[in-house]
Structure 1
Amino acid sequence: MDASDETMSFTDPPAWPHAEADLLHEEPDWQAVACLDFPRDRWLGYLRGYAKAAEIIVDEVMSTGRGQDTLIYPFAMCWRHYVELHLKTLIELASVYLDEPHELVRSHSIEVLWRRARPLLERSFPGDDQAELDNTERVLFQLHGMDPSSEGFRYPVRNSGDATLDGVTRIHIRHFHNVMVGIAGVLDAADTGIREMTDRKHEMAGYNLYGG
C-alpha cells in the first residue's frame, strides 16, 4: 500500500463542524447540485450512479497507478450493488411485462436474484441465444462467491466475526471492471428491451380499447 493512500486529502483545508453546519444547505454553484427526483425511474439514478462511481475509481487507479489497495473495496462494492439493484429492477420490469404477480425480492444474494430473474428474461425474450445468459450467470455466480451477503466489500468481518473475502487475495481492477462492463451491457440491453416491449404492449392495449 502506498503511504499516500493511508490519509485522506482535501482540495481545501476542512472546517470543523459548526453550529450552522447543514448537509442540505444550498450554494450558488448549480453545477454541484444533485437532483434526486429522477424523472422517470429513481432506480435508474441509483444504477447509473453506482456504475459511474466504479468507472471513476478505475480511471483514477489506472491514471495514477496508486490507491488500488484501498479503492478496491468501494470499487467492487459499487459493482456488486449495481448488479443487485439491476437484477431487482429486471425482476420488476419483466414481471410487469409478463403480467405475473410479483413483489420486491428482499434478498442481497446475487444468486437468489439471478435465479429469479433469468427465467423471467427467458420468457420475455423467447428464442434468444442462451449463451449470453450462461456467461452472465457464470460471472455473477463468481461475484456471488466472493461476496454472498453484500458484506465482503463493505466490512472486513461478518456479523459472525469471520473474515470476509476469504481466499480472495488479488484482484486486477481494470480486468474486473471490463468484465463487469460486459455484464452491465447484458443487463442494460434486457432492461431497455423490456421497457420498450412494455410500452408497445400498453400502446396496443389502448389502441384496441378505443376500437383500433
Structure 2
Amino acid sequence: MESDHQPLPWPDSSTNLFVEGAHFQLSPTLPVTFNESNWTSYAEGYYLAAERLVEFVEQKLMYGGLLIYPITFMYRHYTELRIKELILRISRLNGNDVSSKVSGHDLKKLWSRCRPLIESLEPTPEPQDISNVERLVLELHYHDPKSTDARYPDNPNVFSGMKSIDMVNLRLGMSKLAAFMNGTTDMVIEYSTNP
C-alpha cells in the first residue's frame, strides 16, 4: 500500500540559511555599520513581529498556548531595546559621553536609569504618564526578570501562577506602552537633529 504522504525534505549539503537575495521585500539590506537608527529598527522589528503573532491568534482563534511565549519575549525585548535606546540618545542629547553599549536585561535597573533621563527632557512628559509606563515596564520585569523565562521552558513561574493570559489586553497595553516609548524616542531624535 502506497502512502500519500510526501517525505519531508531534510537538509542536504546545498542547504544554507543565510544567503543574499535579490527581491527587495524578501531580502532586506542589512546595515554595514552600527548607528543609532539600528536601535529603532531592531525595536520596531520585535514589536511588529509580536503584533503580527497576536493578530494571527485573534484571527485563527488557535495556537495561543504556543505563541504566548514568543509574543511575550518579543514585547519584552522591544521594551528593553527602547529603554536602552532612550538611555543612549538622551544621555548624548544632555552632553554626556555614554558607551554605545548599554548592557544587561534587567528592566527594573534599566528603567531606573532611563526614567530620570526622560524626566530631564523639556517638555517633560506628565508625571502620571511616566508612572504608568513604569508600572507596565515593572510588570514585564516581574513576569520575566532576566529575559529568559519566556524563552525557556524550565521556569514554571513565568506568569506567576496565572492560569491564562488575555492576549487582546496584552496587545492593547503594549500598544499604549509603545506609543509612549516611540513618541519619546521620536521627540529625542527631533531634539538631536534640530537643537
TM-score category (smaller protein): 0.7 to 0.9
Aligned CA distance change for structure 1 residues 56 and 194 (closer, same or farther; 3 Å):
same
- Taking the aligned partners of 2:23 and 2:9, their CA distance within structure 1 comes to 19
Give the match's secondary structure for 2:42: helix
Structure 1 regions of 5+ residues with no counterpart? 1-11, 202-212
Question: Quick one: structure 1 residues 127 and 42, their matched pair in 2 at CA, closer, same or farther if it must change by over 3 Å?
Answer: closer
The reply on whether 1:31 has 2:25 as its aligned counterpart is: yes
| 8 Å CA contact 1:77, 1:153 repeated in 2 | yes
- The partner residue of 2:53 within 47, 54, 57 is 57
- Cα distance in structure 1, aligned partners of 2:114 and 2:134: 11
Deviation at 1:79, TM superposition (A): 0.2
Matches within 5 A, 1:60-209: 60-103=56-99, 104-157=101-154, 164-201=158-195
Contact 2:54/2:71, CA 8 A, preserved across alignment:
yes
Distance 1:60 1:125, change over 3 A: same
In the TM superposition, structure 1's runs of 4+ consecutive aligned residues that sit over 6 Å from their partners are none
In structure 1, the partner of 2:14 is: 20
Q: Structure 1, residues 118-172: CA drift from partner, whole Å, max 9, x if none?
A: 10011023454211101111111111111111011101225xxx75443233211
After superposition, the C-alpha distances for 1:21-44 in whole angstroms (9 at most, x for unaligned) are: 122334554431122228972112
Amino acid at match of 1:157: D
Equivalent residues in 2 for 1:2-21, closer than 5 Å: 15-21=9-15
Is the CA contact (8 Å cut-off) linking 1:157 and 1:163 kept in structure 2? no
Which residue does 1:206 correspond to in 2? none
* Aligned-partner Cα distance in 2 for 1:13–1:100: 59
Matched residue type, 1:48: E
Shift of 1:100: 1.7
1:85-111 Cα distance to aligned partner (Å, 9 max, x none): 110000000000001232333110111
Letter of the structure 2 residue corresponding to residue 166 of structure 1: S
Deviations 1:164-202 (A, max 9, x none): 44323321111101100100000111101011111112x
Structure-2 separation of matches of 1:13 and 1:123:
61
Q: CA RMSD of the aligned region, Å?
A: 2.2
Distance across 1 between alignment mates of 2:87 and 2:62: 38
Is 1:73–1:153's contact at 8 Å kept on the other side of the alignment? yes
Larger mean CA deviation between 101-110 and 20-29 belongs to: 20-29
Q: Structure 2, unaligned stretches of length 5 or more?
A: 1-5
Q: Give the 3-state SS of the residue equivalent to 1:31 in structure 2.
A: coil
CA distance in structure 2 between the partners assigned to 1:30 and 1:93 by the alignment = 30
User: With structure 1 as the length reference, what TM-score do the two structures score?
Assistant: 0.81
> d(CA) in 2 for partners of 1:125 and 1:144?
28
* Matched-pair contact (CA < 8 Å) for 2:69–2:151: yes
Checking the alignment, whether the CA contact within 8 Å between 1:57 and 1:71 is kept in structure 2 is yes
